[in-house]
Amino acid sequence: PELPVVLLEDFGALIGLVLALGGVGLSLGTGDGVWDGIGTLCIGVLLICIALVLAAETKSLLVGEAAGAETEDTIAASLVDGTQVTRVIHMRTLHLG
């Protein structure tokens, strides 16, 4: 989950800078301060969108996400390959941290 977080944060920072530059530039160019406010509102909407996407991406990790089928198969195979386990009946996995 680190990669989407970093990418979205950096993307948001760059787009936010462009929006701020546009708002301040239009404000200075036209002499109307309302453009600065519009730029600020656009940055706020951008931050809300990024927060919603990040919440959707990381929600499963907050409530506990099980490992994928391939990972569970690898774990079960490793257990059965040992001398103390003959078969795996039920397995529950959970990503922590």
pLDDT, residue 82, reads: 84
* Residues recorded for the chain: 97
- Condensed to tens digits (0 to 9), the pLDDT of residues 5-28 reads 899 999 999 999 999 999 999 999
Distance of CA 47 to the CA centre of its chain: 13
* Torsional sign, CA 10, 12, 18, 23: negative
Write the CA distances from 92 to 30, 42, 63, 65, integer angstroms. Answer: 62, 44, 15, 10
pTM for this one? 0.65
pLDDT at 97 over 70: no
96 residue type, one letter: L
